[in-house]
A and B are shown apart, each in its own frame.
Chain A
């Protein structure tokens, strides 16, 4: 079956512009996560959605970052007024029913802010 998909795969933008990154989780997965991975670094947790519960936004680095999940499926991560330090790979993952299960990762979106 289809895995987690993300779009775009690559995004180059100018400093100060807004960007939207999209994640399509595996069908039927109720949990969805966003992570950020800078070059050669580990995973930085950003935000976690679980079903209809309020999302865990504890990892969002600033108020320029926001995310939503519509209809319990597709999620969009928005970065406003991008900065050069936002350049990274943004990974989305989903799991079947809770944050405590195996996560299935998408291929990531590589964001470069010039």
Chain B
């Protein structure tokens, strides 16, 4: 069964702290996406990770991909309130020519 899991599903953290969101999946894949959804808004693409060992960084967010472990991480450094949103990973499934979304991690950064 194709499964994409995220951990944690809900995260409340203080400004200035670091934390990591995990995305693991159950089938072979070599491409993974991270999206952000602000409250009441639609999804926006954050990162595309195209190969094993890929690392992308944008501001306080850094994403990485380990295809052998079937795991991607989204690391938050020195969180600020503006990062409060729901973060989705989406795993490319070549066989089915589509991506499968994880359930999302709702992040709340508290001043």
Residues of A within 8 A of B (CB): 33, 35, 40-43, 45, 48, 50, 56, 91, 93, 98-100, 102-108
A80 CB to nearest B CB, Å:
25
Q: Which residues of B contact A43 (CB under 8 A)?
A: 43, 88, 101, 104
Asked if residues A99 and B99 are in contact (CB atoms below 8 Å), the reply is yes
Query: Is there a chain A Cβ closer than 8 Å to B1's Cβ?
Result: no
List 8 additional contacts besides A42-B88, A106-B42; criterion CB under 8 Å: A42-B104, A50-B97, A98-B97, A100-B93, A100-B98, A102-B48, A103-B33, A107-B41
Asked if residues B101 and A45 are in contact (CB atoms below 8 Å), the reply is yes
Asked if residues A91 and B96 are in contact (CB atoms below 8 Å), the reply is no
Closest residue of chain B to A91 (Cβ to Cβ) is B42
Q: Which of B82-111 contact A (CB under 8 A)?
A: 88, 90, 92-94, 96-104, 106
Q: Which residues of A contact B33 (CB under 8 A)?
A: 102-103
Query: Is there a chain A Cβ closer than 8 Å to B31's Cβ?
Result: yes
Q: Which residues of A contact B31 (CB under 8 A)?
A: 100
Q: How many residues of B contact A (CB 8 A)?
A: 23
Residues of B within 8 A of A (CB): 31, 33, 41-45, 48, 88, 90, 92-94, 96-104, 106
Asked if residues B44 and A100 are in contact (CB atoms below 8 Å), the reply is no
Asked if residues A42 and B102 are in contact (CB atoms below 8 Å), the reply is yes
Asked if residues B94 and A100 are in contact (CB atoms below 8 Å), the reply is yes
List 19 A-B pairs, Cβ < 8 Å. Answer: A35-B101, A41-B103, A42-B88, A42-B102, A43-B101, A50-B97, A56-B96, A93-B43, A99-B97, A100-B97, A102-B45, A103-B33, A103-B43, A103-B45, A104-B45, A105-B42, A105-B43, A106-B42, A107-B41
